[in-house]
Amino acid sequence: MFRIALDLMGGDFAPQAISAGAALALKSFPELHLILIGPQKFIQPLLSQPRTEGLFTEEVVLMDDSPGEALKRKRKASIFLGLDLLKSGEAQAFVSAGNSGAVVAGSIFILGRLAGVRRPAIATLLPTLKNPMVLIDAGANVDSKPYDLYQFAVMANLFLETIWGRANPKIALLSIGEEIGKGNQLVKETHKLLSASSLNYYGNIEGRDIFKGDVDIVVCDGFIGNVCLKLSEGLAETIMEMLKNEVKKSYLYLLGMSLAKGAFKSFKKKIDWREYGGAPLLGVKGNVIISHGKSDALAIKNAIKQALHFAKLDLATQLENAIIKHHLEEAGVEE
Amino acid sequence: MFRIALDLMGGDFAPQAISAGAALALKSFPELHLILIGPQKFIQPLLSQPRTEGLFTEEVVLMDDSPGEALKRKRKASIFLGLDLLKSGEAQAFVSAGNSGAVVAGSIFILGRLAGVRRPAIATLLPTLKNPMVLIDAGANVDSKPYDLYQFAVMANLFLETIWGRANPKIALLSIGEEIGKGNQLVKETHKLLSASSLNYYGNIEGRDIFKGDVDIVVCDGFIGNVCLKLSEGLAETIMEMLKNEVKKSYLYLLGMSLAKGAFKSFKKKIDWREYGGAPLLGVKGNVIISHGKSDALAIKNAIKQALHFAKLDLATQLENAIIKHHLEEAGVEE
């Protein structure tokens, strides 16, 4: 049995979508024990199910609360109580679709960073023409330094090797040209660090090429990573919307599209972020999964599935050991 | 008659695609007089057509040449000779699909910046669910300062008003959250400048929302603008590729798609960057159009069409007057 803590009050469709996702997950995963955190009135109905318990609190971090202020004034909010459960060992992973800034700040403050890690980062899975790849950082930090980006690469590398068994993943640096020397100051300096490292470094990658699937990891600052992530979601939706508008113009098009419906359905499933669960926050002492703010029941169920996976493997501890090993190797120290 | 200079050696498919685009443009635009710049052997065949002349040079800036080095060592390259023609008044606009860094550096060095402009910027048109909008800066600068972003907004504002007649365009700042205070240091400081200005400032916009068409101008640093632009192109291609792969899985899907083909065709035309011509470099003393590196004949024809439009309106001079007026107004000086 694995004990997963779930923030019932996080996300645009909380608490209904979160409750529905919790119910789905309990049905699907027999090894799941769920600790639901939020107001009693929302949690009570779920407690009739086996393998559940409640941690009641009325405090909630809102989506536009400042993370620092929230930590000061709303210490009993569901996000922070969930992290407390991780810290004390009462839960083995924590899932929240709430204010991601508050989850990051809370994780650093309550759990602390892994030894040797300067800044934790959000690792998001993205579909490509080949295998899904990892974009890191998807928004935990803005104004990162070159060494931070280098560490994001190290963490994502270990994450893919440890959790996915993808050996020696190819790591690329997001920039505005493939040639060395193209990019801003941050990219130019990070390039030097990655080139000198033992990582399987591919070089710069342009925005145009990240969905081709030629690399396993794309590294960037969290500001640009977050913009890219949201842009991709928005653009995919817009393209579908524009197509729909064109199809509506003729009965023939409508007929054709209804015949090809199955193709669209399986395509949509492939690019559906809800299928990818949440995004782990790598670099803190605990298994923290940040789910999409627009999470519905399916997204929450998949985020819980991922949390179970991380809990089983004890991702955070494995990552800490691997990071220490990596830094020792880079420093030329034999174990 | 308007005299447009064209770099025959710029872009991945030069000189063939550029020649073909030039021929198309000469056929379509009777008021066009074209000055073709490049090696004589490529230009000679085009000179049999009326309203053409050649400026022969063997020097070419390659796509991966460093702009600064190119300016020093390849001063007779087609890009720089084209800018010389603008400077001397022999041409009224210049089009190149070549090394955009060299076009920007050459424009600053040869033409100079408009009075009061610290950094020129590339303004790119992007399709949205409603009207096309302008993304500025699409890659002329990296590591911009807050005042640069403010000036990009001022220039794009005047550009839309002057050239498109879109009165009082809505200007947004690209960030990772709509709330004030979300973003990196650059965004936070630019936000203050835009808020205090007389511009029609909408506030922050997230990547998710830029294609909805609710704003007319999206302002960002050129590094992130260029990543976003290329990401959008790459993603649109990938989505079409993924759809195609799904459709191939069944004859029924193939039949359906062939019926709906017309819808896809008009959709593709809507999102086709080639239809939008090139992107003007705003803020230099001359009408410079940067066309896509992957330009084919259609893209070049449309870039020349845009160049004609700018030459007719004398965009650069209008922009200079408007910028001076704007700065006087902001300073509270009556004319």
Q: Per-residue pLDDT for B178 more than 90? A: no
Q: What is the mean predicted confidence (pLDDT) over B45-72?
A: 94
Check CB contact under 8 Å for A212 and B259: no
Q: Which residues of B touch A232 (CB under 8 A)?
A: 207, 231, 235
> For residue A309, what are its two tokens?
């996976």
| Average predicted confidence (pLDDT) for chain A | 92
DSSP A159-211: HHHHHH---S--EEEEES-SSTT-S-HHHHHHHHHHHHSSS-EEEEEEGGGGG
Nearest to A232 among B142, B231, B259 (CB): B231
Closest by CA to B128, choosing from B200, B218, B226, is B218
B60 and B9 Cβ atoms separated by less than 8 Å: yes
Burial class (CB in 10 A: 0-12, 13-18, 19+), B43: buried
This prediction has a pTM of 0.91
Q: Among B235, B240, B266, pick the best mutation site for testing chain A contact (most A Cβ within 10 A).
A: B235
Of B150 and B251, the one with more pLDDT: B150
List of chain B residues whose C-beta atoms are within 8 Å of the C-beta of residue A239 = 236, 239, 271
State mean pLDDT over B62-72: 91
Distance between B252 CA and the closest CA of chain A, angstroms: 6
Distance from CA of A5 to the nearest CA of B (A): 27
The answer to which of B45-59, B247-261, B305-319 has the lowest mean pLDDT is B247-261
User: For B258, how many CA atoms within 13 A lie in the half-sphere containing its CB?
Assistant: 6
pLDDT at A264: 81
- The arithmetic mean of pLDDT across residues A231-251, rounded, is 87
SS (H, E, C) A30-48: CCEEEEEEECHHHHHHHHH
Return d(Cα B11, Cα B296) in angstroms, integer. 9
The answer, yes or no, to whether residue A252 has pLDDT greater than 90, is: no
The helix (H) or strand (E) run that includes residue B41 is helix B40-43
Residue A191 pLDDT: 95
Provide the pLDDT for residue A298: 94
- pLDDT score recorded for residue B243: 84
Nearest to B307 by CA among B62, B7, B57: B7
Whole-angstrom distance, CA of residue A107 vs CA of residue A290 = 11
pLDDT band, residue A94 (cuts 50/70/90):
very high
Interchain proximity A252–B231, CB inside 8 Å: no
B300–chain A nearest CA distance, Å:
21
pLDDT tens track for B106-118: 999 999 999 889 9
ipTM: 0.89
Quick check: A251 contacting B, CB < 8 Å?
Answer: no
For residue B173 the two structure tokens come to 């700042």
pLDDT tens-digit readout, B164-173: 888 999 999 9
Reported as a pLDDT band with limits 50, 70 and 90, residue A236 is confident
pLDDT in tens, A11-52: 999 999 999 999 999 999 999 999 999 999 999 999 999 999
Higher-pLDDT residue of A165 and A77 is A77
- Output A299 or A182, whichever has higher pLDDT: A299
| Predicted pLDDT of residue B63 | 87
Please check the confidence at residue A334 and state whether its pLDDT lies above 70: no
Query: Which of A101-110, A265-274, A278-287 is predicted with the least confidence, judged by mean pLDDT?
Result: A265-274
Q: Which residues of B touch A243 (CB under 8 A)?
A: 263-264, 267
Domains in chain B, start-ordered, CATH in brackets?
A: 1-117+283-317 (3.40.718.10), 126-275 (3.40.718.10)
- Of B180, B177, B185, the residue nearest A99 (C-alpha): B177
pLDDT of residue B180 exceeding 80: no
pLDDT of residue A98: 95
pLDDT band (50, 70, 90) for residue A322: confident
Amino acid letter, residue A151: Q
Between residues B236 and A7, which one has the greater pLDDT?
A7
pLDDT over threshold 70, residue A270: yes
B186-223 per-position pLDDT tens digit: 999 999 999 999 899 999 999 989 999 999 999 999 99
pLDDT computed for residue B273 by the predictor: 77
Mean pLDDT of A110-133: 92
Q: What is the mean pLDDT of residues B119-138?
A: 93
The reply to whether residue A223 touches residue B224, judged by beta carbons under 8 angstroms, is: yes
State yes or no: pLDDT of B152 exceeds 90.
yes
The pLDDT score that the predictor gives to residue B200 is 96
Of the candidates A160, A116, A135, the one whose C-alpha atom is nearest the C-alpha of residue A225 is A135
Residue A335 has pLDDT above 60, yes or no: no
Across the interface, whether the CB atoms of B242 and A185 are under 8 A apart is answered: no
In this predicted structure, the answer to whether residue A210 has a pLDDT above a threshold of 80 is yes
- State residue B140's pLDDT score: 94
In this structure, the number of other CB atoms found within 10 A of the CB of residue B183 comes to 23
Residue B291, φ and ψ in degrees, nearest 5: -100, 160
* B228 chain-A contacts, CB cut-off 8 A: 207, 227-228, 231
pLDDT bin (cut points 50, 70, 90) of residue B334 is low
Q: What percent of chain B has pLDDT over 70?
A: 99
Task: Find the mean pLDDT for residues B261-273.
Answer: 81
Alpha-helical segments (H) within B213-250: 222-247
Please, which pLDDT band fits residue B324 given cuts at 50, 70 and 90? confident
pLDDT over 70 percentage in chain A: 99
> Is A131 within 8 Å of chain B by CB?
no
Q: Length of chain A, please?
A: 335
